[in-house]
Every structure is written in structure tokens, then in C-alpha cells.
A = this chain, B = another copy of it.
Amino acid sequence: MLTTAEIQELVATRMSQMDWTKEPKDLYAPVEYVLSLGGKRLRPLLTLMACNVFCEEVEGALMPALAVEVFHNFTLLHDDVMDKAPIRRGKPTVHNKWNENVAILSGDAMLVKAYEFFAKMPEDKLSRSLTVFTQTALEVCEGQQYDMEFEHRNDVTEKEYLKMIRLKTAVLLAGALKIGAIIGGANDQDASRLYDFGINIGLAFQLKDDLLDVYGDAKTFGKQIGGDILCNKKTFLLINALRYADLQQRNELNHWLAATDYNPQEKIAAVTALYDATGVKFLTEQRMDQYLDKALQLLDELHRSERTSQLASLAQRLMNRTL
């Protein structure tokens, strides 16, 4: 069985060996650029770890694992166009560095490339895995659509928010795991357990992101602290703050949501104080822990603790991360 570090090394090596020097340059160079910006490479890691739970040999899951990572980066590329985001991982986004048309078309090519890599797997597993990959990809699009719609709404419920982050974030972690499990030879029930494990760590992961955006350490977080607050993003924190605020707190929160001319640091400090006062920081941490517990319970149900312990550690590390 491979260690997490060995799998990470394998993913990094194969990612660096991808050849994007093909013509036309303006179609493929942006793909190489996006992939060179880094990231945790969490999704291919999950695919390979899931495969390794059921099978010593993970080679058959390697290209599908990279496909999932390419797909994930495709979604970031197109999301950045839609959000008009100038910066991603500290570097100019593709539409900023090249132009919008290049970003749209390179993204399209990247999605097709993800399918190309995905198909390089044991033929007897292709049909079943492809169904999971495609279903997941569609759901990620649905999640992005809901996320965009929520920007223009002030009545997003917790249930709607959880559905959105399940689609936009959790299903891809879940799909990455299920695909690895299928290629590793898991039966349907075990593959579904790993899928549900992924949903739960995905939800917990996003709640952690919501928390880090407010309570993270600016030095290690990389992004600006309070970014979600400044753009009134309907996070788990905001939705529940509006729900549990008393009259005075709600008025104060609505004042900041409606404010157009304000000192950013002042708004961040005031809204953060409201999150503390309404207890939603604690509430969010609690919910995150519930999802994590559920995820670990699903792993236990596989009755392969000697082969799932690394997945359990990884899940715990993701929730304790400071960035």
C-alpha cells in the first residue's frame, strides 16, 4: 500500500509530465498556465487513495485521477471568467492575462482533455466510471449556476446553501473517490460509501473554507481575510447569522449588507463581531464536525481500517488546515 506522500509524489510527477506544447499555442498554453498555478491536488489524491483501498496496483486509476484534476481546474478557469476574477492563486487569471475568448475556448479544450485522460483506463471499468464522472461534471455546473443565482438573492436558506455547496464542491470529491473505488474493484455498496464519505468531507471542507475566510490567518490563508463579508456572499455563517440574530443584531447586519460607502476593515470587523455574538462561528464549527464524524463513520463501515486510516487522517487534516 502506498503512503499519502508517495501518491502525492506520483500525482505531481505525472502532472509535470503532461505536454501542452501543441499548436495552436493560444489554445493550449493557457491550460498549461492554469495547471502550473498549483493547488493541493486533493482530487487526484482521493481517486488514487480510494483505488488503493481495494487494490494494491493504482496505475489504472492514474489517468482518471489526473482527468479529475484537469476538470477541476477547467471549472476554476470558467468560473473566474464568469466572476470576472482578476487573480487566482496570486497570479493573473487567464482572461486577464490573455483575453476572455481565449479563456472560454481553452476551458472548452480542457474539459475535452479531461475526458481524453479519463478514457485512458481499464476498458472494463470505463462505462461505469464514465457515468459517475459525467454525472458529477453536470452537477458541478448546476452548483455554479445556483451559486451565481444566490448572488442576486437575499433569502437563500441553509438548505439551499447546503445543496449548492454539495453540487459545486462536494460531489467532485465524492466522484473522485467513487471512480477510484470502481477502478480498484470495489462493489457498488462500498463505492457508494466512499462517495458519501466524499460528500460529507466536501461539505465540511466548504464550511471550513467559510470559516477560514473570516477567521483565517492572513499570513497563511493566501486570500484576503473577509473577502466573503465584503461581497455579501451568502455563506453558512451569514445565512445563520441572519436567522439567529436578535432584532438589533439583524438591523446592524442588514445595515452592513446594504452599505455602499464604507471602510472595508470596519465592515469586516463589525460583521465578524456579529458572527461571534450570534454564535454562528460555533454553530458552523459544530456542523463541520458533524459532517466529519459522519464521514469517518462511513469509512469504518468499509471494515478495512488498515487500508482507510490514511483517508481518515487526510479528512482530519483538511478540517484542521489553516489555509
Q: Which of A's residues lie within 8 Å of B, judged by CB? A: 23-24, 26-27, 78, 81-82, 101, 104-105, 107-109, 111-113, 115-116, 119, 123, 126-127, 130-131, 134-135, 137-138, 141-142, 144-146, 148-149
Residue from B108, B134, B145, B149 within 8 A of A141 (CB atoms) = B108
Once bound together, how far apart are the Cα atoms of A314 and B24, in whole Å? 33
Residues of B within 8 A of A131 (CB): 119
Residues of B within 8 A of A141 (CB): 27, 105, 108-109, 112
Closest 6 CB pairs of A and B: A109-B141, A27-B145, A82-B101, A112-B137, A24-B145, A116-B134
Tell which of B82, B101, B142 touches A24, judged by Cβ atoms closer than 8 Å: B142
Instruction: Among B112, B126, B142, point to the contact of A138 (Cβ < 8 A).
Output: B112
A156 to chain B, nearest CB (A): 13
In the bound complex, residues from chain B placing their C-beta under 8 Å from that of A82 are 101, 104-105
| Beta-carbon contact of A24 and B134 below 8 Å | no
Residue from A24, A123, A142, A144 with most neighbouring chain B CB atoms (10 Å): A24
* Contact call B112/A146, Cβ cutoff below 8 A: no
